[in-house]
Chains A and B, each alone.
Chain A
Amino acid sequence: MNCFIRSCSLIFASLMLISTAQAATPKPGEKLAKDQTFTYRMLDESPTLDPQLIEDVAASTVARDLFEGLLTQNADGTLRPGVAERWETNDTKNVYTFYLRKNARWSNGDPVTAHDFVYAWRRLPDPKLASYYASFMELMSVKNAKAIIKGEMPPTALGVKALDDYTFQVELEDSLPYFPAMVVHTSTMPVPQKVVEKLGNQWTKPGNMVSNGAYMLKQHVINERQVRVRNPMYWDNENTIIDKVVALIINDENQAYNRYQAGELDKTEVPTGQYKRLKKKMPQEVHSNPRLCSYYYMFNTKKAPYDDIRVRKALSYAINRDVITRNILGAGQIPAYTFTPGATANFHVPDVEFGKLTQKQRNAEAKKLLAEAGYGPGNPLKPTILYNTSEGHKKIAIAIRQMWKQALGINATLENQEWKTYLTTRHQGNFEIARAAWCGDYNEASTFLDLVRSESDQNDGKYNNPEVDRLLKQAKTMEDPNPNYTRIEEIIATEFPIAPIYHYTGVLLLKPWVKGWPHHNVEENWYSKDMYITAH
């Protein structure tokens, strides 16, 4: 992977054609079920299935079946060809050229061409479309993306072009070695120009939608179900096994579990707090896999006394992460001493100092730091923890309050707010300490570390450290940015703009007859075409 997305892309791309399995591959002797229908629980209705407008995880999952971008992912998260058979980049890694397969077809039989990608990529930053993910084009450093979003340039000025029908070229503002990993993102998938222009926002409805992925949208009943069936035009259709994928929208996780038990679902999530019990009851069906997400507390570094590193450090030190992951969550979550999860590709988790101490040592240090900052029995610190209303967040906040009370003798106040109110409070900076979580947009450490960049839109704590900014900027163009990432994590573990708490795991229930689930894909990017159902 290291070689893959960094220096050897050209060589690797040609090798990949031989080395990667493209579709579902049953093991010898495995008998396939007659009915190849995979039914899974979808937590919430997706706001849209338009690749450039999608903003949620659930819809991205659907889109990965319906559409195929330039590259896709193997079960372990490494890249593999999608519509692009191979790609190459120049020495400065600011121009990427993708060579598209000639047998890729839309579900209406039209060929998928480089022009479709040009259209889709120009569409994303277009102010007229007004996509949530418009700035992803900017994040990918595509030339002129920012100016287009601002309306200063027309979408046609974007640094993409079709050299011919099957060659798509992207010009970047700057070198970006991990660029290929980003073109897996839903927002970069092609859309059928003629259909989109003819039908407007109705093009994503069943019957209207034309797609180029392994599946087509057959049925979509809002808040009830989405059904997708095989796309006979898909270039690898003959190696696809699952015939039908049904997503049932079930908001309540316990109800989803009931329906899983009743055999209505092949896959759902383990209900909160039930991991240990279910793991014992059905070890074959319960899985816990690391995910590309971090749970953390954010300090408002512009508000006294949280502008004092010693206070932030003391509070972060006094959180016993083991108790939270083991006793409160108990589903294999990983105590976090760095912001970036260890599961992130190419990221070597640095041995930050406070991670090596025992909790007792951390508590002693925390007490000392707080005293140095001028807080003690005579002048107690009274922090307020802001979180959005949820039993899970409440449990953690209560535990942390207790830890702070025992270790530092301080009384924290808990304040819960309804989701959007909480977000507004947080974005406006009207908080002292706020719960937060982040899942990576792509599998690279910068997707996390960018949050502590002074100019980042996500930096609600208003942390500002020019060194971090410089390291991040430099990392973008480095062959091996790890030294910079390590340094940033060290800075985080010294100055604590945030207090990392734990790294997520995805806990799921999967029927034993579903094969090919990518347990090792930390982004949980699964493709139905890679799976199959054995006889049961």
Chain B
Amino acid sequence: MLNFILRRLAIAIPTILFIIFFSFLLMHSAPGGPFTAERSLPPEVLANIEHKYGLDQPLYKQMFNYVWGILTEFDFGPSFKYKSQSVNDLIAGGFPVTLTYGSWAFLFATIIGVTLGVIAALKHNSWLDYLATGGAIIGSVLPNFVMAPLLVLLFTVYLHWLPGGGWEGGQAQFIIMPVIALATSYLASIARITRSSMLEVLNSNFIRTAKAKGLPWRYIIVRHALKPAMLPVLTSLGLSFVGMITGSVVIDQFFSTGGIGQHFVNAALNRDYSVIMGVTTLVGTLTILFNLLVEILYAWIDPRIRY
């Protein structure tokens, strides 16, 4: 097992380097640059700005300096747009925000999603199943950019229960709507995967054997069915978790949370090279780590899986 983990971590390093290299090339191949503006800058002014940010150097040199900065000082460089912020500052400021509402959303989606999925499977073809499945379908067709305004209309404009946005250090009333808006579609997909996986497990031979042995139903579900039914759910949870804790452009922009989710889109539109590479590297690294974690969990859940 340790060998497996070390091997995977060893592969992770070139993978991350490849992500950096590839996103660097991709960003630089997009037309325009961080300083392209409606107001064309006089050539001498543009030259001064490009010199300040090292954009006047050959691309390979910029690339080398960038990677060198990361490797030696863990410095992802200055933001090209936010003049007094470095990429590290932006991530340090925004990541705790998305990590907070993302983790809550993850917990919410997982607990409710798995519960709904299990209930639907256990009460297969009953009104409970139809309700849960119907709810899951509605949830999955309600993207967060529809959910968010609906929540605001209800809880802010009509009921005056919750503030329409902001973060204020992460007080509960500011977190509720982002969590619900972000969690809904994940919740729906977790419920659907759990339901189908649970149904499959419940129809399998070892459950029939357990039943035949006269084990209590609750014991069969908790002890024998739930664990194997979680395998496919786990696969989706790993990636969902990364998706949730790195935020969403819709949630961040709509609720003005100050999270890093919006940088994925805005930094690309602004050609803020260092920020887009910083957040891409962050997501890349987290994805690799959580995929590894999921694989380790596989072995724990399913004794047949050994590395």
Chain A interfacial positions (CB closer than 8 Å to B): 45, 47-50, 53, 55, 127-128, 130-132, 134-135, 138, 146, 149-151, 201-205, 221-225, 248-252, 254-255, 258-259, 261-262, 264, 418-421, 423-425, 427, 436-437, 457-458, 460
| Residues of chain A with a CB closer than 8 A to B271's CB | 420
Contact (A457, B149) CB under 8 Å given A50-B84, A420-B269: no
Contact (A420, B254) CB under 8 Å given A202-B84, A205-B84: no
CA distance A516 to B257 in the complex (A): 31
Among A48, A149, A255, max chain B CB count under 10 A is at A255
0/1 interface trace, chain B 129-158, chain A, CB 8 Å (1 if under):
000000000000000000011001100110
CA distance A436 to B38 in the complex (A): 8
Asked if B26 is at the interface of the complex by the 8 Å CB criterion, the answer is no
Asked if B31 is at the interface of the complex by the 8 Å CB criterion, the answer is yes
Contact (A134, B45) CB under 8 Å given A201-B83, A224-B258: yes
0/1 interface trace, chain B 15-35, chain A, CB 8 Å (1 if under):
000000000000000111101
Among B52, B164, B262, max chain A CB count under 10 A is at B164
CB pair A423 B37 closer than 8 Å: yes
CA distance A458 to B94 in the complex (A): 36
8 Å CB contact of B152 from A128, A135, A255, A421: A255
CA distance A301 to B164 in the complex (A): 49
CA distance A203 to B84 in the complex (A): 8
CA distance A53 to B44 in the complex (A): 16
8 Å CB contact of A250 from B30, B32, B256: B256
CA distance A17 to B158 in the complex (A): 50
Count how many chain B residues have C-beta atoms less than 8 Å from C-beta atoms of the other chain. 50
8 Å CB contact of A132 from B49, B93, B157: B49
CB pair A264 B257 closer than 8 Å: no
CB pair B164 A255 closer than 8 Å: yes
Among A130, A149, A258, A418, max chain B CB count under 10 A is at A130
For chain B, what secondary structure do more than half of its interface residues adopt (helix, strand, loop), or is it mixed? loop
| Residues of chain A with a CB closer than 8 A to B148's CB | 255
Contact (A149, B45) CB under 8 Å given A223-B262, A255-B254: yes
8 Å CB contact of B164 from A47, A134, A259: A259
Asked if B238 is at the interface of the complex by the 8 Å CB criterion, the answer is no
0/1 interface trace, chain B 85-102, chain A, CB 8 Å (1 if under):
100001001100000000
CB pair A223 B252 closer than 8 Å: yes
0/1 interface trace, chain B 234-264, chain A, CB 8 Å (1 if under):
0000000000000000001110111100100
CA distance A201 to B85 in the complex (A): 8
Asked if B232 is at the interface of the complex by the 8 Å CB criterion, the answer is no
Asked if B82 is at the interface of the complex by the 8 Å CB criterion, the answer is yes
Interchain residue pairs with CB less than 8 A apart (26): A50-B83, A130-B45, A130-B51, A132-B37, A134-B45, A138-B42, A150-B44, A221-B93, A221-B167, A221-B258, A222-B85, A248-B256, A249-B256, A249-B258, A251-B262, A252-B254, A255-B164, A255-B254, A258-B149, A262-B156, A262-B160, A418-B269, A424-B32, A436-B38, A457-B39, A458-B40
CA distance A427 to B43 in the complex (A): 12
Top 5 nearest A-B pairs (CB, nearest first) are A420-B32, A224-B258, A48-B83, A130-B52, A259-B164
| Residues of chain B with a CB closer than 8 A to A50's CB | 83-84
CB pair A251 B253 closer than 8 Å: yes
Contact (A47, B52) CB under 8 Å given A224-B256, A250-B256, A252-B253: no
CB pair B48 A149 closer than 8 Å: yes
CB pair B31 A130 closer than 8 Å: no
Distance of A436 from chain B, by nearest CB (Å): 8
| Residues of chain B with a CB closer than 8 A to A424's CB | 31-32, 36
Asked if B284 is at the interface of the complex by the 8 Å CB criterion, the answer is no
CA distance A48 to B80 in the complex (A): 11
Distance of B192 from chain A, by nearest CB (Å): 30
CB pair A45 B82 closer than 8 Å: yes
CB pair B257 A224 closer than 8 Å: yes
CA distance A47 to B45 in the complex (A): 18
